[in-house]
Chains A and B, each alone.
Chain A
Amino acid sequence: MNILRKFRWAFFVFVAPSFLIYTYLVIFPIVSSMAYSLTKWNAISPAVFVGLNNYEALFKSKDFAIVMTNTWIGLGLALVIQVGFGLLISFLLYQTKAGYRAFRAMAFLPVVLAPAAVALMFVLIFNSDIGPVNKILESIGLSGLKRNWLSDKDIVFYTVLSPMIYQFIGLYVIVLLAGMQSIPPEILESSAIDGAGSFRTFTMIIVPMIWDIIFICVTLITAGSFKAFEHSYLMTWGGPGVRSAFLGVYMYLRTFIDANFGLGCAIGMVILFISLAVTMIFRAVVRRLDYQS
């Protein structure tokens, strides 16, 4: 607004405090992370420049390979299950009047909780002695399927993954539902008059019309799975070994348990790079979809 532009000092009063705090504590640390990732450093003695050694060590390490495999499998399962259930439940909610608010409220409930709290709930549920999972298996005569969910190295990864997937389905239900509700009702009415059943309406009209929203969900799930920390760390400390660790946990373990701050920064940079790359790809895709329609 022109009338405000004469107050030249306004920037210093309104913006400068936030600008300084934000630059010093959010932007500047990225640059120093990048610099530290090129050093060998324990955060006490001075950092020694080692070039790309940390990255080389990282890509050669067996643990990193396990952690990356975990991350990719986790991402794949999260995409299929969260988007799948998200679409199913939101489509059912979309058609529902009676009880709509109650169902919606329950679906979203886990999203508002601390991931730490949900992780602890699942620790109790998967307890091998008295947790309900084993008890239910026992009572329906499937004792053979009972497991030490939190320590068996072959399944512990899936145990840790389950609360991560469970907790955020509701977020995607609500986001996708909002997308569906923004479709003009005339389009759906005309398809109903044409005699399309709800399955056809769903696949032929609704899904194509909310592609951009589905892509938003895909990006969120992807970015989330590369910085995932709480569930894995609280349930199993990433173990045994790094069997149930994701990148975020791996970084914490190397940095604060092994005091290898240089390597930790390198892992942080990998997380940053992948997250930004995914966001860029997502934007490009959405822009292309926009041009087409």
Chain B
Amino acid sequence: MNPITAERKEASLGSFVFRDRIMTILRYAVLICSSLATIFPFLWIVLCAFRDNTQIYTMPFALPDPLILANFPKVFKSANLFNTLLNSFLYASVTVAVVIVLAAMVAFFLSKFLKKQGWLFTYFIAGILIPVQAILIPLFVTTRDLGLINTMQGILIVYIATNLSFAIFVLTGFMRKGVPDEMIEATIIDGCGPIRCFFMVVLPLSQTGIATVATFVFLGVWNEFLFALILLTDPAIRTLNLSIFMLRGQYSSDQGLMSAGVLVLITPAILIYIFFQEKVVQGLTAGAVKG
């Protein structure tokens, strides 16, 4: 090769490498800045939850000195937090269990009994597109007229009904591909009825899809606010979400207390996210791309 061109090539390659390095540094700089901005509110909450008002007032950005733990017992007491924490767990777990059984049965029927999805599938899926505000008032009136307002059964049935569409959508898609027809045929030929077949074959084979739906529905109920606000006024059966909101009215000047409350509220969701990260991301983005 001609030495002059070789030299030129090296020089331009050098400038490319240089440009690449600058781009990489820039890229990381932007990513780190945006990540810091994203977690800043969390850091602030954690910082405040372990300080009292005086500390926050005088040295807003200082670390806790001394470390104050009193906010947590105080918030548990003033907002009846332990009770509402249990309520939220109860609502979320019961909704998940019932929705999964009901939706899996429908999904089994839609994916294996019918030739095509047909209108029944469309009918069930339509619920995903309906904004809650379009059904809020009749639901309030219906639960009231049934005597279910301010009861655990009332909020549960509403949570179950409003989560069915998404669960049916995901599970039908999953079963169509993930549960082989041959296996069902074999069990039926062996003399099993569809109900046994559902519990022995279909449910176990759908575990992955069920896990996605379970995380999505659990988080959805745990984070739900509007139905809880209008259907639950009795403090004893409130959700955690709602009782933390009540703090906003009564204790809004006590920053440490509010932070501790928020921290209690978000910890379970964060734990679920840490342990089931892929499931959570899959569930929430499947919910997003359903349109």
CA distance A247 to B136 in the complex (A): 14
CA distance A145 to B103 in the complex (A): 53
Given A10-B194, A29-B139, A175-B285, answer yes or no on A96-B262 (Cβ-Cβ < 8 Å): no
Q: Which of A26, A109, A174, A282 contacts B285 (CB 8 A)?
A: A174
Q: A68 in the interface, Cβ–Cβ < 8 Å?
A: no
Q: Can you list, as one digit per residue, whether each of B103-130 has a CB less than 8 Å from chain A (1) or not (0)? A: 1011011001100000010011011011
**CB interface residues, A 27-45, toward B, < 8 Å:** 27-30, 32-33, 36, 43
Establish whether residues B38 and A109, one from each chain, have CB atoms under 8 Å apart when the complex forms.
Answer: yes
Q: A59 in the interface, Cβ–Cβ < 8 Å?
A: no
Q: Is the interface of B mostly helix, strand, loop or mixed?
A: helix
Given A132-B61, A268-B136, A272-B133, answer yes or no on A111-B284 (Cβ-Cβ < 8 Å): yes
Q: A118 in the interface, Cβ–Cβ < 8 Å?
A: yes
Q: Which of A130, A132, A272 contacts B131 (CB 8 A)?
A: A272
Given A25-B142, A30-B130, A112-B269, answer yes or no on A132-B44 (Cβ-Cβ < 8 Å): yes
Q: Can you list, as one digit per residue, whether each of B191-231 has a CB less than 8 Å from chain A (1) or not (0)? A: 00111001000000000000000000001001111100010
- Which residues on B sit within 8 Å (CB–CB) of A149? none
Interface residues on B, range: 35 or more
Establish whether residues A14 and B57, one from each chain, have CB atoms under 8 Å apart when the complex forms.
Answer: no
CA distance A255 to B230 in the complex (A): 11
Q: B150 in the interface, Cβ–Cβ < 8 Å?
A: no
- Which residues on B sit within 8 Å (CB–CB) of A30? 130, 134-135, 138
The smallest beta-carbon distance between B78 and chain A, in angstroms, is 15
Of B1-9, B66-74, B182-190, the segment with at least 4 beta carbons within 8 Å of chain A is B182-190
Q: Which of A116, A219, A268 contacts B225 (CB 8 A)?
A: A116
Q: A135 in the interface, Cβ–Cβ < 8 Å?
A: yes
Establish whether residues A121 and B41, one from each chain, have CB atoms under 8 Å apart when the complex forms.
Answer: yes
The smallest beta-carbon distance between B166 and chain A, in angstroms, is 12
Establish whether residues B181 and A1, one from each chain, have CB atoms under 8 Å apart when the complex forms.
Answer: yes
- Which residues on B sit within 8 Å (CB–CB) of A251? 133, 136
- Leading 6 A-B pairs by shortest Cβ distance: A29-B138, A25-B161, A114-B223, A29-B135, A272-B134, A227-B131
